[in-house]
Chain A
Amino acid sequence: MNPFPTPLWSIGPVTVTDSVLVMIVLSLLLVGGGSIALRLPRARAALELGYDTLERSIVQSTSADAQALVPLVLTLWIFLGVANVVSLVPGVATPTRDLSLAAALAAISFSAGHVHALRAQGVAYLRHYLEPSPFLLPFNVIGEIGRTIALALRLFGNMLSGHLVVAIVLYLAGLLLPVPLMLLGVLTGLVQAYIFGVLTLVFAASSIRQVEAETARKGREKK
């Protein structure tokens, strides 16, 4: 198994790699499985119970109004949790070891956080870029972009390094020796899926909370 994304075929200028194929098949399977499970009463009850529990714990732990982001975070958890460990199936490569997919997910997380904050607070939300002083605007913007890039690189780097280590040990040592490393890769994959969702939530919630604290402080000063 090649640790790097390998081009399968190209349609005009677009090159389709194996990670694209795995990602599309995986998404279709997850969406199809989900919609079938929603038809069955028992599975539906179990899913709704799980959703309610997770939603309650997420809303409690962030303490900001993050309820609108819960479906996105849960979708990220499910998709990344499956995609990061799908390499255990022989012949299938983890799609998240491709920087393109990681960057796309990070872009989704970035825009979702901003759309959510803009919807919750309107244009006043953009004022947090001018805090604590308008001179810091470029640094705030750079920080915002930097943490999005870090989000993408973290997922990509962790997944690719896991694959590389397994490939190198397989090349040097032989058949069964990479198995403990693959088990470690399962742990890393699940942790990274969790981290990606939580960081999406934390980044969105932190900018909201910042503006809330600022408005509260201004309100106190007026009194």
Chain B
Amino acid sequence: MNAQDWIAIASIITAGITVAGGSFGAALGEGRALSQGLDAIARQPDSASTLTRTLFVGLAMVESSAIYPLVVALILLFANPFVR
């Protein structure tokens, strides 16, 4: 077990934790936003198109907070600067 092995082990574990934690928060937030959006559409079906558009844009914005951990995890796994 030299330093490189430890770096690899730490990177793999950290990548798993990063994706798990990041997707956890984003999933909670997106689920809440989606349920509220469906609620609003059920109340006011006339403005469904505006609501859907706003909902999609908002979901994409929230989703980018799940994408950041993914990118970090990908860097850790495939482009780790500390692994030679």
Contact = CB atoms under 8 A, between A and B. Distances in A.
A191 B52 CA distance: 12
Interface in A136-195: 150, 153-154, 156-158, 160-161, 191-192, 194-195
B53 interface: yes
Given A158-B67, A198-B53, A192 B60 contact: yes
Contact of A154 (B50, B56, B60, B78): B60
A192 B78 CA distance: 24
Contacts of B60: 154, 191-192, 195, 199
Contact of B64 (A4, A150, A194, A202): A150
Given A4-B78, A61-B50, A160-B74, A154 B63 contact: yes
B34 interface: no
Contacts of A191: 56, 60
B83 interface: no
B57 A202 contact: yes
A157 B53 contact: no
B49 to A, nearest CB: 9
Chain B binding surface, main DSSP class = helix
Interface residues of B, number: 13
Interface string B27-67: 00000000000000000000000100100110010011001
A195 B50 CA distance: 14
Contact of B57 (A150, A158, A198): A198
A153 B53 contact: no
Nearest to B78: A4
Given A154-B63, A154-B67, A161-B70, A195 B56 contact: yes
Contacts of A202: 57
B7 interface: no
A214 B43 CA distance: 34
Name the residue in A150, A154, A156 with the highest tally of chain B Cβ atoms < 10 Å from its Cβ: A154
A157 B50 CA distance: 27
Interface in B7-35: none
Interface in B64-84: 64, 67-68, 70-71, 74, 78
A160 B67 CA distance: 10
5 contacts: A157-B64, A157-B67, A160-B74, A194-B56, A198-B57
Given A154-B64, A157-B64, A198-B57, 7 more contacts: A61-B53, A153-B64, A154-B60, A160-B74, A191-B60, A194-B56, A195-B57
Interface of B: 50, 53, 56-57, 60, 63-64, 67-68, 70-71, 74, 78
